[in-house]
Amino acid sequence: MADKYGLEHRPATNLAAVFFREVHTYFNDGDRRDAAITEVADTIERCSPKIVIAHSLGSVVAYETLWARRNHSPVDLLHMLGSPLAMPDIIYHRLNVHEGTRGRPPGVIRWINISDPGDFIAIPPGGISLNFRYVAADLTDAIGAFSFHQVTKYLRCGATAGVLATCVISG
């Protein structure tokens, strides 16, 4: 939003720290960040899922986990909903970058992102494929004017149904 309206980035970052406390905590408390990554990694190792669905900050944790723990079983689909991964300053520039690139994590066969066009959490417009390599699809679907970031709305939207239907048909 700062870029869109020609505003300074520092105030936007400060606002995010106040209104999105969990994001601020994740990036500023190394022990909690490590604990979140460990918990997700342990769950992936224990369950060996073919599909990982992650929403909002969960998509950030899933992305960093899949990069940090490369020995996981193959994941057919990393399916992100309302992901803020590409949000400059607040998330994008604070990710643990591996091998100097931002792209599909190792062991992930297909990466699909869905965002509501009005979801300011899942910015910038144009999706995450503008900033990350090897995103198979960057889809938009209007999930609701007043519920633009709710996970239940993302899970019920047509784009998610279509993505998951192709997994059932091909799997």
SS (HEC) of 98-135: ECCECECCCCEEEEEEEECCCCHHHCCCCCHHHCCECC
Q: Label each residue of 19-44 as H, E or C.
A: HCHHHHHHHHCHHHHHHHHHHHHHHH
Token couple for 101: 């690139």
Preceding amide of 124 cis, omega within 30? yes
The enclosing H or E element of 76 equals strand 75-81
Q: Which CATH number fits domain 2-170: 2.60.520, 3.40.50, 1.10.3470, 1.10.260?
A: 3.40.50
CA distance 152 to 138: 19
Q: What is the pLDDT of residue 147?
A: 73
Q: What is the pLDDT of residue 146?
A: 75
Q: What is the pLDDT of residue 21?
A: 81
Tell me the three state secondary structure of residue 157.
coil
Q: What is the pLDDT of residue 7?
A: 55
Q: What is the pLDDT of residue 1?
A: 54
> Which residues are CB-neighbours of 73 under 8 A, at least 6 positions away?
44, 45, 48, 107
Please state, in angstroms and as integers, the Cα–Cα distance from residue 158 to each residue in 54, 55, 56, 126, 165, following that order. 17, 16, 18, 19, 10
Token couple for 138: 């960057």
Regions of the chain where pLDDT drops below 70: 1-20, 98-100, 123-126, 168-171
Q: What is the pLDDT of residue 24?
A: 86
CA distance 158 to 161: 5
Q: What is the pLDDT of residue 18?
A: 52
Q: Is 68 exposed, middle or buried (0-12, 13-18, 19+ CB in 10 A)?
A: middle
